[in-house]
């Protein structure tokens, strides 16, 4: 009996057909070890791993060959900030996003928590077992929030004990990390959460609480989502006063007023000091530059006729529609303030990057995060990063090597080298010449399984058809 139990998992593993051997020939490898681009090489993929890279690699018998002539092979992209969420009625709508990520070369996503935890964890397992096509999923499970959570599905926390219990609950649920979403939190509760998470070996990431300094949050080991939120704390002369003014969760009006005040008192001479503190604390910042702007500069049809809308199920669209969703259309004043802030945020991103702060790319796409199209929005995010002043290679690394480093997976992921898991994207044009070329996808490999352009188009069509059956575009 004991022996049978040992053999069973092996049999289950064998039941999955091994990915075929594939040889990419005469391709230019982007971000090869030590060089930005390595031209005219072959890359052999076997059993889901990159085996060999070299000028003369012979195709083993039965290997599929992909002609890489004039093409560029980069590592699969990670979108480190997405949300699979929106309630039980949006389960299918969210599941339909998984092939969309894949078709866009996004081979890993980090779900930042929502209300579909069990489903997300099921999808995570199915993808890993090869039973569902999609990106590898990492998930926060439920978010940790104050006594009155902002989002459904979050765990409400009022005391240090509840904080510790919530972290244990997240651990038991099988989540990959802890997401905190406090708009206001006491030091004691925050410290308890970070301490419990450290004991359970879970990373903690999330928003910077409004009443907490970056110093304090990062000093306890919290990583920061939406790095631009933390800027107003780390590099504004008004930050300490604003922080101290909060006696409880701030209202939206307070946040808007104080956000404007913080950015008015923004002082770029504070950035090097901020960078030093972030480096010392080994804090990771996630960019989500794109999503805020999506609601500010709207076309007259408010994206109703957007060419990508056909891939959304109507339930998700409803959360994006500015009349039915939770976010309203911008006012001229909010659009102006956004344009002003965007300049500050962009130059600060470039400064922090120059000073060696650890950054990762995230698009923040999800239900209720209007017009950040799943998969496509990561490419747009990288374009924002380049517009901020980073070189295309550095922007690419924010979605390849950096997430691997954050996850302590550099030996198995993040770059094209022997031994790495074969998550790859073949491009028709050089992404180092223009970051927009990451959109010109000739094929995607996920864990060694190759999808050429026709296969990716078939996937897109299948989602489009399913969305149409649900009544998208109506
Ligand atoms: Zn988010």
The rounded Å distance from CA 140 to ligand 1 centre is: 11
According to CATH, the topology of domain 2-74+415-470 is Urease, subunit C; domain 1 (2.30.40)
Q: What local confidence, expressed as pLDDT, does residue 11 receive?
A: 46
pLDDT per 10-residue tile (average), the chain, 474 residues: 47 61 97 90 97 93 95 98 94 97 98 90 96 96 90 91 97 94 95 98 94 93 89 87 92 89 91 94 94 85 93 95 86 84 92 97 95 97 97 98 97 96 98 98 97 98 96 62
Residues with CB under 5 A from ligand 1 (ion): 112, 364
Q: What local confidence, expressed as pLDDT, does residue 282 receive?
A: 95
Q: What local confidence, expressed as pLDDT, does residue 473 receive?
A: 53
SS (HEC) of the chain: CHHHHHHHHHHHHHHCCCCCCEEEEEEEEEEECCEEEEEEEEEEEECCEEEEEECCCCCCCCCEEEECCCCEEEECEEEEEECCCCCHHHHHHHHCHHHHHHHCCEEEEEECCCCCHHHHHHHHHHHHCCCCCCCEEEECCCCEECCCCCCCCCEECCCHHHHHHHHHHHHHHCCCCEEECCCCCCHHHHHHHHHHHHHCCCCEEECCCCCCCHHHHHHCCCEECCHHHHHHHHCECCHHHHHHHCCCCCCHHHHHHHHHHHHHCECHHHHHHHHHHHHHCCCEEEECCHHHHHCCCCCCCCCCCCCCHHHCCHHHHHHHCCCCCCCCCCCHHHHHHHHHHHHHHHHHHHHHHHCCCEEEECCCEECCECCCCCCHHHHHHHHHHHHCCCCHHHHHHHCCHHHHHHCCCCCCCCCCCCCCECCEEEECCCCCCCHHHHHCEEEEEECCEEEEHHHHHHHHHHHHHHHHHHCCCC
The rounded Å distance from CA 371 to ligand 1 centre is: 13
Is-above-0.75 flag for pTM?
A: yes
**Which tens digits make up the pLDDT trace of 410-437?**
999 999 999 999 999 999 999 999 999 9
According to CATH, the topology of domain 77-406 is TIM Barrel (3.20.20)
Domains in the chain: boundaries: 2-74+415-470, 77-406
Q: What local confidence, expressed as pLDDT, does residue 328 receive?
A: 82
The rounded Å distance from CA 307 to ligand 1 centre is: 24
The rounded Å distance from CA 66 to ligand 1 centre is: 37
Q: What local confidence, expressed as pLDDT, does residue 18 receive?
A: 75
The rounded Å distance from CA 225 to ligand 1 centre is: 8
Q: What local confidence, expressed as pLDDT, does residue 296 receive?
A: 84
């Amino acid at each position: 009996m004991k022996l049978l139990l040992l053999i069973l998992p092996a049999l289950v593993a064998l039941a999955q057909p091994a990915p075929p051997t594939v040889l990419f020939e005469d391709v230019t490898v982007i971000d090869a070890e030590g060089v930005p681009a390595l031209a005219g090489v072959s890359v052999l993929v076997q059993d889901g791993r990159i085996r060999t890279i070299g000028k003369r690699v012979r195709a083993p018998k039965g290997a599929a060959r992909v002609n890489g002539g004039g093409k560029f092979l980069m590592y699969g992209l990670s979108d480190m900030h997405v949300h699979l969420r929106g309630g039980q009625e949006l389960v299918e709508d969210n599941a339909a996003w998984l092939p969309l990520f894949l078709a866009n070369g996004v081979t890993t996503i980090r779900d930042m928590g929502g209300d579909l935890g069990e489903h997300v964890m099921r999808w995570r397992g199915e993808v890993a077992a090869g039973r569902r096509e999609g990106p590898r999923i990492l998930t926060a499970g439920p978010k940790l929030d104050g006594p009155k959570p902002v989002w459904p599905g979050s765990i409400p926390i009022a005391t240090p004990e509840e904080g510790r219990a919530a972290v244990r609950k997240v651990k038991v649920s099988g989540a990959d990390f802890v997401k905190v979403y406090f708009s206001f939190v006491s030091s004691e509760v925050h410290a308890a959460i970070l301490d419990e998470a450290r004991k359970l070996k879970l990373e903690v990431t999330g928003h910077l609480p409004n009443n907490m300094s970056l110093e304090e949050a990062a000093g306890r080991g919290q990583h920061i989502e939406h790095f631009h939120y933390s800027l107003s704390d780390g590099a504004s002369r008004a930050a300490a006063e604003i922080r101290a003014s909060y006696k409880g969760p701030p209202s939206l009006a307070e946040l808007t007023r104080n956000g404007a005040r913080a950015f008015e008192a923004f002082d770029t001479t504070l950035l090097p000091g901020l960078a030093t503190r972030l480096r010392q604390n080994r804090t990771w910042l996630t960019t989500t530059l794109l999503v805020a702007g999506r609601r500010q500069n709207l076309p007259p049809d408010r994206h109703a006729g957007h060419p990508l809308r056909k891939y959304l199920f109507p339930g998700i669209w409803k959360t994006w529609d500015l009349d039915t969703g939770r976010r309203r259309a911008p006012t001229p004043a909010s659009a102006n303030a956004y344009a002003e802030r965007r300049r500050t945020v962009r130059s600060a991103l470039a400064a922090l990057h120059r000073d060696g702060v650890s950054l990762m790319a995230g698009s923040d796409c999800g239900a209720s995060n209007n017009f950040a199209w799943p998969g496509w929005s990561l490419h747009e995010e990288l374009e924002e990063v380049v517009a901020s002043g980073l070189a295309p290679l550095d922007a690419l690394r924010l979605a390849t090597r950096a997430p691997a480093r954050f996850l302590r997976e550099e030996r198995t992921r993040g770059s094209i080298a022997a031994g790495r898991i074969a998550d790859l994207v073949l491009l028709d044009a050089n992404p180092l010449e223009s970051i927009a070329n990451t959109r010109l996808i000739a094929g995607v490999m996920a864990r060694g399984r190759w999808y050429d352009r026709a296969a990716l188009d078939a996937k897109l069509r299948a989602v489009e058809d399913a969305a149409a059956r649900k009544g998208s575009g109506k």
